[in-house]
């Protein structure tokens, strides 16, 4: 296989180079995800659009996760695991023909083998089984006063409130029971029909969105929580025991940099550094000043997004969710942050 191009010196007009990068990205996504060093000013949206043309059936949701702590003009681009592997190369490259399935193995790009397909199949079965178990658990763990009810056609419109209410009840009983990313998106689309006044429902949404950050700032803009409530939820997020806890590290510090004073921010950062979770320790060491966390959030906004009104930003978010669901992890965080800034300014 030819040498992969350096991701720190990409030429978006070089189709052969982008095809090689797409192969590398697909291999990383098919192998559980990973990071690549890139230019700190890389246009992730533009790169993502180019990569999307080379893979199927889903997009590669690459995002800049953190800037290098040594001050160099580089950043780490995080490529998450493919949600439903394998990603297939929709176009040919110099090394692989169209419809190839590639993986990264021992720092090399190779065609997928039988054991890769077996692993993907097992993971898909496990995910489907877990979905069924979660739904059964929602009934089994329901409060003693709960009633099982068959929902008629006329009651379907109240389903978002039912989901939020039942999820809140379970969250109170078992704080590790959080909303998934699809639930967060679904509820945000139906936000106008929800009762968001309850403190426990707000806590559930904030804790869940800290771990699945696509809708994080959309929810903060919608709820406009009291800073004291945010402080409590951030402290709680550090000590809660759930499997997605470490994924919240960067979100915790970014939100903390916006809501906490300098002393509180540093106490929270110290708690992250001492948590024993690798991702939390990395975030704490990288963003040791609140200005660094705020600058990282600001850096992803485009000039156009800064000029949009609340109504325009909400319309963009809703359009992205409905028309390009595979890209929401890449596009929603920046839209949400711009909306949160607008509402903070007018609050």
CA distance 71 to 84: 36
pLDDT digits (tens, 9 = 90+) for 287-345: 889 998 888 888 778 788 889 999 999 999 999 998 887 778 778 899 999 999 999 98
Q: Give, for 267, the enclosing helix (H) or strand (E).
A: helix 262-273
How many other C-beta atoms can be found within 10 angstroms of the C-beta atom of residue 240? 17
Is it the case that residue 269 has pLDDT exceeding 90? yes
Is it the case that residue 137 has pLDDT exceeding 80? no
Name the nearest CA neighbour of 175 among 254, 247, 233, 248.
233
Provide the CB-side half-sphere exposure for 264 (13 A, CA).
15
**Are 5 and 94 spatial neighbours (Cβ–Cβ below 8 Å)?**
no
Mean pLDDT throughout 40-64? 79
Those residues whose C-beta lies under 8 Å from the C-beta of residue 178, and which sit 6 or more positions away, are 171, 204, 207, 208, 211, 242, 244
Domain extent listing, the chain: 15-120, 154-346
CA distance 270 to 189: 36
Q: Give the per-residue pLDDT at 73.
A: 57
Q: Report which DSSP code applies to 331.
A: H
User: What average pLDDT does the chain have?
Assistant: 83
The CA distances from residue 194 to 158, 223, 347, in Å, are 9, 11, 21
pLDDT digits (tens, 9 = 90+) for 118-133: 998 888 888 777 767 7
pLDDT digits (tens, 9 = 90+) for 171-210: 888 888 889 888 999 999 999 999 999 999 999 999 999 9
Task: Give percent of the chain with pLDDT exceeding 70.
Answer: 85
Place of tokens 């409530």: 229
Q: Give the per-residue pLDDT at 151.
A: 47
Q: Is the dihedral of CA 331, 11, 51, 71 positive or negative?
A: negative
How many other C-beta atoms can be found within 10 angstroms of the C-beta atom of residue 183? 18
Q: Give the per-residue pLDDT at 155.
A: 44
CA distance 4 to 283: 29
CA end-to-end span of the chain: 56
3-state secondary structure of 26: helix
Bridge partners of 91?
Answer: none
DSSP 102-146: EEEETTEEEE--HHHHHHHHHHHHHHHHHHHHHHHHHHHTS-TT-
pTM of the full predicted structure? Answer: 0.64
Q: Which of 156-170, 182-196, 253-267 has the lowest mean pLDDT?
A: 156-170
Q: Give, for 33, the enclosing helix (H) or strand (E).
A: strand 33-39
Name the nearest CA neighbour of 205 among 298, 344, 217, 111.
217
Provide the CB-side half-sphere exposure for 139 (13 A, CA).
8
Buried b / exposed e across 53-80, counting CB within 10 Å, b at 16+? ebbeebbbbbbbbbbeeeeeebbbbbbb
- Could you name the CATH architecture of 15-120? 2-Layer Sandwich (3.30)
Q: Exposed, middle or buried by CB within 10 Å (0-12, 13-18, 19+), for 216?
A: buried
Q: Give the per-residue pLDDT at 190.
A: 94
Dihedrals phi, psi of 145, to nearest 5 degrees: -85, -5
CA distance 170 to 204: 10
Is it the case that residue 280 has pLDDT exceeding 60? yes
Q: Give the per-residue pLDDT at 3.
A: 43
Dihedrals phi, psi of 104, to nearest 5 degrees: -105, 125
**Are 200 and 172 spatial neighbours (Cβ–Cβ below 8 Å)?**
yes
Q: Report which DSSP code applies to 213.
A: G
């Amino acid at each position: 296989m030819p040498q992969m191009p350096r991701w720190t010196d990409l030429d978006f007009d070089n189709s052969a180079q982008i095809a090689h990068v797409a192969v590398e990205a697909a291999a990383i996504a098919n192998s559980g995800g990973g990071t690549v060093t890139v230019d700190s000013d890389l246009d992730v949206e533009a790169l993502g659009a180019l990569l999307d043309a080379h893979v199927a059936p889903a997009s590669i949701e690459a995002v800049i996760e953190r800037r290098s702590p040594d001050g160099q003009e580089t950043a780490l681009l995080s490529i998450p695991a493919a949600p439903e592997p394998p990603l297939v190369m929709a176009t040919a490259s110099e090394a692989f023909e169209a419809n190839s399935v590639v993986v990264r193995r021992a720092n090399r790009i190779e065609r997928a083998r039988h054991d890769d397909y077996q692993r993907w199949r097992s993971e898909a079965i496990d995910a489907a089984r877990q979905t069924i178990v979660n739904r059964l658990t929602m009934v089994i763990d329901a409060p003693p006063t709960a009633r099982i009810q068959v929902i008629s056609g006329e009651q379907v419109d109240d389903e978002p409130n039912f989901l939020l209410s039942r999820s809140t009840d379970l969250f109170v009983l078992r704080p590790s029971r959080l909303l998934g990313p699809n639930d967060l998106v679904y509820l945000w689309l139906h936000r106008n029909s929800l009762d968001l006044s309850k403190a426990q429902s707000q806590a559930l949404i904030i804790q869940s969105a800290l771990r699945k950050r696509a809708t994080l700032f959309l929810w903060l803009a919608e709820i406009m929580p009291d800073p004291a409530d945010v402080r409590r939820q951030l402290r709680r997020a550090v000590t809660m025991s759930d499997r997605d806890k470490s994924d919240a590290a960067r979100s915790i510090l970014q939100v903390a940099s916006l809501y906490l004073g300098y002393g509180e921010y540093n106490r929270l950062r110290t708690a992250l550094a001492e948590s024993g979770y690798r991702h939390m320790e990395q975030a704490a060491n990288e963003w040791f000043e609140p200005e660094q966390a705020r600058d990282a959030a600001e850096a992803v906004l485009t000039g156009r997004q800064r000029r949009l009104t609340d109504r325009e930003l909400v319309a963009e978010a809703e359009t992205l969710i409905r028309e390009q669901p595979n890209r929401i992890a890449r596009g929603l965080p920046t839209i949400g942050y711009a909306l949160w800034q607008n509402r903070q300014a007018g609050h």
